[in-house]
Structure 1
Amino acid sequence: MTSRNSLAVTRYTAFDVHGRGGNPAGVVLDASGASEQEMQAVAAEVGYSETAFLVAGGDPADRRFTVRYFSPLAEVAFCGHATIAAAVAVADQAGTGRLVFDTPAGEVTVETRPADGRVLASLTSVPPKVTAVAGADLAEALVALRWRPEDLDPELPPRVANAGNDHLVLAAATRERLAVLDYDMDALGALMARCGWTTVHLVWRESGDVFHARDPFPPGGVYEDPATGAAAAAFGAYLRDLGLVAAPARVTIHQGADMGRPGRLLVDIPADTAAGITVSGTAAVI
């Protein structure tokens, strides 16, 4: 499909479950010559939380692309679900294999391969980092979310995790707390803009390797993101940094069910603390 701005947009849903649910993303496989303003206009027209814009490198055999990501409101340094969608879109046109995406957050490698009759894409993030969150910022976030301190799981302490951009990680003590999302979008958005957080990654631990997540995304003009690969990568780093998994490990994140868009993200966490986190999923054409 071509937008009014003459850039051909393909629509995929990433991290879907058997072709259903997942997180919609726009993909422009050839954004050569497009200006920042044109890309922003296309992303706003598409209306998804992110649209990925690809420009192929000089040698097609390198399978290397410069990639930029735009939400309806602004450019984002890195987006996991749009990366998965873009990688599957490339595989659909040119076959599976290794891709290299040069993003504003750094170099991201993506492996695509056949799996059960579909294409499975696995991105490996830039080297992640995990930092403390200021007490005043945490308190303000809880007020905006309409959460109480006792709603938090004391075994999964709040942190800011980054695997391409910053995410505030907050763990709910119960599934019931996670299921109710009723926050002040203006207040949380203002705090996130001040702190530079891309999403707030709300999680609940079902077991040692299974988690459920929700991601408010006010900076993108989106109340909630259905499946968030960048936050999943950051969360993998969080689990490793806090010793909450025995790396190497794989965890599964279920996201989007509370929105009626179930998604599944597979997160592989290497033992090397300097290594990026790998997030895998499928994507289906919408």
Structure 2
Amino acid sequence: MRLPIYQIDAFTSAAFGGNPAAVVPLDAWLPDATLQAIAMENNLSETAFFVPPGPQDDGAWGLRWFTPAVEVDLCGHATLATAHLMMNILHPGTERVVFRTQKAGLLTVAREEGRLTLDFPARPPQTPDRVHDGLVAALGGPAPAAILAARDYLVVYDDAAAVRALTPDMAGLLDIDRFAVIVTAPGDEPGVDFVSRFFAPAKGVPEDPVTGSAHCTLIPYWARRLNTDRLSARQVSRRGGALTCRLDGDRVRIGGDAVLFLEGYIHI
């Protein structure tokens, strides 16, 4: 079997930045074990697989995402990469695409003001009933200003320098009782409202370069704190990435650019 594969850098306007995602178009779903094996072989934060709409899908394309270790419930950068492939390469001129997902419902990507914008569910953070005992120690930084949680822990620091300086003990984060850990602080550059990083070693992603799904939690937090529904964000991983953000009721809009890096074939 020969399958096309594309590698696309998301949330960047130039190759070698942002977050690389593999995207594999399929005619129909392959067995889950095969999808997971392909993602493990790619060894990127996520590999996205998509299939054409079925008769009952109202034009929505099926979409799934896998890390090297697990299937995930929601992934922003690989959705952006898939939309970039569809709207600019496979079907150029397309202005809007709808994806049907297993756990996040319908997701829309539209072309707005020259870039692609994701329409995702908001996941506002709350004060958790308890915080995993080893969380702060594993992050290795100063005492945080706050610890909140949604799907992921949201650990808030007073300044961006603390976020940039973190060198987490990944082994210490393996058994946390949330999917992953987001760390964040106010921005320290002109035009950047907040910065973040994202760690998910138990899911096969020690540090994710740029994480769209994390902004489902970051946007409602910073929108409330800064009293604005429009924000600019930067994920300060080694590769780094820029995102435009908007809170829209119980949804978030996450905008970014993407660049094709590689195309070829999988032989299995």
Using the size of structure 1 for normalisation, the TM-score is 0.82
What pairs with 1:1-286 in structure 2 (closer than 5 Å)? Answer: 6-30=2-26, 32-58=28-54, 62-91=58-87, 92-95=89-92, 96-113=94-111, 120-137=115-132, 139-149=133-143, 152=144, 154=145, 157-161=146-150, 166-191=151-176, 195-197=177-179, 199-206=180-187, 210-240=193-223, 243-247=224-228, 249-256=229-236, 258-259=237-238, 261-270=239-248, 272=249, 275-286=250-261
1:54-97, CA deviations, whole angstroms, 9 ceiling, x for partnerless residues?
11112699541111110001111110100100111111211322
- Partner SS, residue 86 of structure 1: helix
CA distance in 1 between partners of 2:218 and 2:175 (Å): 23
Structure 1 pair 232–129 and aligned structure 2 pair: CA distance change class (3 A): closer
1:127-186, CA deviations, whole angstroms, 9 ceiling, x for partnerless residues?
53432224442x42101112342xx2x3xx32113xxxx121112222321122322212
- Partner SS, residue 58 of structure 1: coil
Answer 1 or 2: higher relative contact order, Cα 8 Å, separation at least 6.
Answer: 2
Query: What is the Cα-based RMSD across aligned positions, in Å?
Result: 2.3
Gaps of 5+ in 1: none
CA distance in 2 between partners of 1:53 and 1:190 (Å): 28
Q: Is the 8 A contact 2:147 2:156 kept in 1?
A: yes
CA distance in 2 between partners of 1:148 and 1:205 (Å): 15
- Partner SS, residue 152 of structure 2: strand
CA distance in 2 between partners of 1:264 and 1:196 (Å): 25
CA distance in 2 between partners of 1:129 and 1:176 (Å): 25
CA distance in 1 between partners of 2:101 and 2:196 (Å): 25
75-84 or 5-14, larger mean C-alpha shift: 5-14
Displacement after TM superposition at 1:212 (Å): 1.3
CA distance in 2 between partners of 1:262 and 1:218 (Å): 18
Q: Is the 8 A contact 1:64 1:100 kept in 2?
A: yes
46-55 or 204-213, larger mean C-alpha shift: 204-213
More helix by proportion, 1 or 2?
Answer: 1
Displacement after TM superposition at 1:244 (Å): 0.9
Give 1:113's aligned amino acid: R
1:251-271, CA deviations, whole angstroms, 9 ceiling, x for partnerless residues?
111114x41x1310111112x
1:19-62, CA deviations, whole angstroms, 9 ceiling, x for partnerless residues?
44100001112251311011001101111000111111126995
